Structures are given as C-alpha cells and as structure tokens.
Structure 1
C-alpha cells in the first residue's frame, strides 16, 4: 500500500541547529559580494618608465598585487601553504639594482624555494628616503611587481637595508622621526614581515641607537597589528668570528629594545688545494662567531639565531659536493637559514641548497 508523504511538513521540520534555507542563501550571496569587494580594493601598481628629470635612485613604490598569469605557472610542486613570517631553508638574495631580475614565482616553483631577500635599500639624496641602490629599479618594477604573485603561490620575500653601495638610512638620516617614517614606508609598500640590515660599518653609538630605536618602534607597531616584524643583521665573519664593533652594535641594539631574530654571517669562500673551496674555513668562522652572537643576544646558545651566507666570486666556487656539505652543516647545527651572495650558484647547486631542512 503506498504511503502518502506530507512534503509541506517535511519542509517545516529541520534538524536542531540547522538554519533556514533562505538564511543560508542570503549568507552565500553576501560572501560572494564581500569577496568581490575585497579583491576590488587591492592596490594597483605604478608601472611605467621614470619621468624626465627623475632622481637617479628611484623611490620605493608599492608592488602590483595581481593574480598569477599562466606564464608564471611553471612546472613543479605547489608552494602552499604560505610561508611563515620569518625566513627558513634556502633564502636566495635578489639584487634589484644589478640584476638579472628574477621571476620569483617561477624560481620558487622550480627550485622549491619559499623565501627571498630583495636588496639593497639605501638612503636617497635627501638622506631620509629609502631607494633601490644602483638606480636601475623603477617604482613598481619587475621584481617588486611579482611579490603579490609569489605570495599567492605560498612564498614570500623580505627587504635588505644597507649593503656594499650607498648609505644605510640610519647613517644618513639623523632625525629619529623621519628615520622611523622612512623604514615604515618601505615595509608598508611591500607588505614585508621580514627586514635585514646589512651593516658594513657599525658606525658611532648615536647611529646604532638611532637605528635600534627605529626598529623597536616598528616592531611594536607590527605586534599591535598582529603581524610580527622579523629583523636580522647581515655581518661579515672571519676566522676569529665577528669584529668587536659588530658585537657591540648587536648588544646595544638588543639593549635598546629591538628584537634580533638572527645574525646572518657573510663568509667569503677561500680557495683550497686543487682549486676547491675551503668549507672548513667557513665552518671554523661560524663556530668562532657562535659564542659571540650568543653573548651579544644574551642567549646561552645561539645556533638557531645564526644564518650562513657563503660569498661566491663565481658559480664554480660551489660544487654539488660543497652544496651537500653546506646543507648538512646547516641542518646538523640547526641554523636559521642558508643563503648565498656574490655570484649565483649553478641551477644544480641551487636545487641542492634548496633541499636544506627549514
């Protein structure tokens, strides 16, 4: 015997806690509308060539936050989820002034790299404006414009202030308020959660404290927004470790309230017998610097606060065997990250370096 079904009663009966269908439809429509509005609000870039008479060192401009085009979708494993707020693993350095300008997203996908450092930002003619050193990178240019695409793919990039050319902002800008504003503009323009200070000369105590005060202010602002700002210092290292001046600078910066997440050691590669690179000298320099970094940062041990950056004069300086030794040394000692400067390593060596455990 067929059973009659009361469809109107079924529609009126819901499981406890289940919202009405009309409310569900309304919420879905609101979500679609809100998402579209948020995408519409994303800032556009400021491409184009410099105008006539523009200063030789172009000022920092905001990146273009665009969707990832098909041309950037190179083969390789996806990078998602997004990188954390601090570097880890292998962190290539991208020189925006000297080039060649890299396709960050393609490099990340092909090599499994999650983090890059972009540099160098130095003081412009007025002393209190951050500009790309080298003068060839226009605002909204190729590297900066790819940051949105890189982040959409799960990677990220930090900014490096200072470097071998030009003046670091704290040296040139003696007004503390303008110095904080200069750093703040650069960090905000690129949405950076990580900044590095490559200091070639620690300078006088006033410069050190001026920089430290600016860093502490930026970190307090970032913490209030829920986006911590990771800060590192890149310093040269030798067989005796860090210079006394650099150790004093680190200690004074910490005591002034700035939080230093890592000290990145620039270690030149020396030629050994047979033309091979002497990685033993690099390891010895890192070991010499370890107690100095620990003391400067008031830490009982500081291996996790040390990053290592061998400086290459040419791609041949680092072989595949060397790369395996470097990654093993980095993982065994629990270093913060591994990088390279100077000449770019060969693609094979870069892939091996990228295999270091984050």
Structure 2
C-alpha cells in the first residue's frame, strides 16, 4: 500500500489550519491527487490526530481508512512531495530523498496498526535508514509551489476535450484546450493555449471579454467574468474571478469578482476580495522575498512571491497587500492603503480581534450562499483554533 502522511504541517500555516497538508493544491491537483494519478491507485492518508473529525466530515471517503496501517511493507510519501515517476517495489527499509537530500518519504515494514502524523514524526526521529535518491522534489513551504507552478499545471492536464460549448465568436489559439461537459465559453473570450494547456472544467462559465493564458486550470462550477488569467493560474471549484490573476492558486470558493490584481499567491477557501484589492509580488530592488512565519524571518528564494491568505479572510475595497505577506484565517482587512505584512488569524483590522460569535455567523451565511453547510467538526475546529490564538 501507499500512504501520504503529513510532515512539517506548521510550515504550511495558515493553509494547514483547516485542512491536512495532503489536500493542499500544487497545480490543479492536491499532493495526494498527484500521487493517485502517478501510481494509478488510491492513496491512503495519515494526518494529525486533531484533524480526524474534520476529515470525516469533509473527506468521508479518505477518513474511512485514515491513520490505519495494516501489517506488511508499505511506501510512505511525505505531503509536499512531488514525484516524477512511479517507484518500483522497494524490499528494504529506506529513506527516499530528492537531489537536495530533502525527505520525500520512506519504505518500511515496521509500522502497523493506528498511526498518526505525530507518530510518523517520532518514528523518523528514531529510525536509522539508508538513503535512496529518487526523482522528485520536496516542497517544505507553500511558497515553494510557485517555483514550478506552470510545470505542475501542465503535468496535471488530462488531455484535449471538446464536450462543452464554445461560442463561434470566442477565439482559441493552439489546440491544448480541455472543455468539459457543461462548460461554456462566451463571445469575446480569448483562450491562448500556445504556451501551455487550458482546462475549463464542468459547468464553468467564461464570460467575455476575458483573456486566459495557458497553462491554466479553471475548476468546476466557477465563473470567470471580464478577467485576465495569466499563465500558471489555478482556480479551484466554485470560484468567482475578475480582474487580473497571475500564477496564483485559489483553493476553492474564492470570490474575486472585481477589478484588482493577485499574483504569485495562494488563497485558501472562502476568501473574499473587495474591489481593487491588489498585492505586490515583486520588490523594487528585485531581491529575494522574505516572509515572517511563526516569528522567524525566512527567505523564500523567490524573486516573485505575493502572499499566503488563510480561509475565510476578507479584504475591503482598495486593500493593498505588500510583497511576501502572510495573512491568517478569518482576518478582516479594512483597507484604506497598504496593510501590514503579517496579519494574525482572527484579526479585525490592524489592532482588534474578530468576535467568535460574529465570525461564525458570517461564515455560515457565506457558505449557505453556495449551498454549503458548516458542519459541527469544522465549527469545533474553528472554536479550538480561536481559543488557541485569541484565548
């Protein structure tokens, strides 16, 4: 069997606060989905104990066998790893590393029964395994996704398809277009597939005038309205996109319907951007972008990186986001100019705290507008995080 396990989940905050790292998008697909595509089989998950109830509620199929390891030799892949080719059977205990000797996973027959991300961490600390270099790359932080985002979107492309509706007054350059059943591309839309493939998933609407540059993935039930989607853009399911988006990931249910710019950024679920919200993704001196994560200043190694924005965060009209901003979950950014580079979860403006009762009420209203209900496990997780962060 093949397992994907959470590792270094703190490095993926705030994205990992309300989902396992296994479900983080790295292109059109999550880390787990990429492995399933590569190996052609279901991949089982091993996650933090504190997320098991949330997994059962939001990913019931995954939860059925989560954190359960039968006896025998198995392959364990660290979440954040992207492999370039399937592995042959490994008949010994080995650590699997990339060219930089970052851990990609391991093979062992020493683990069985109930396991968790925490127990895997303990096993690796005590194990003395031989290293085996394989083809792949480990992403230790979410911004490292952007170093190869266009490549990953291209790898995730499922092939050309023409089952949707393409208006005769829409323009397509190149042939690498996947138009799924129920998708509609209206007059005035321009889709450029010459430098990379474009997917318009089922029941998605592309309104003109819109420019889409491949490689690009537009997920199911999404509406793109008068937008410029630059190469490397990924829109998950049920998003709303207008204005300009470049080389960014909208995880799901993101609302950016108005003018503004988002570049080289990862936005979690249920983020809402006010009109003319824009972020910087390049410093004036073209130096590497640095971020602050859990009080530590870290160089991203990237010249172009915008921001990470957690689930349910909202911006007011005219909000300006600095290069390398880290913004938590349930933050309300009130606009009126350049916001802070580091905005904690549950912030109301720059100096106040979002009241728990109000944020839960608002989140429930927002989700109901898309016919989604807030389950008890999600609500419990939000309350637990609020107590941990706010007290």
TM-score (norm 1): 0.26
TM-score (norm 2): 0.24
Greater percentage in strand: 2
> Larger Rg: 1 or 2?
1
Looking at both structures, which has the greater relative contact order when contacts are Cα pairs under 8 Å and sequence separation is at least 6? 1
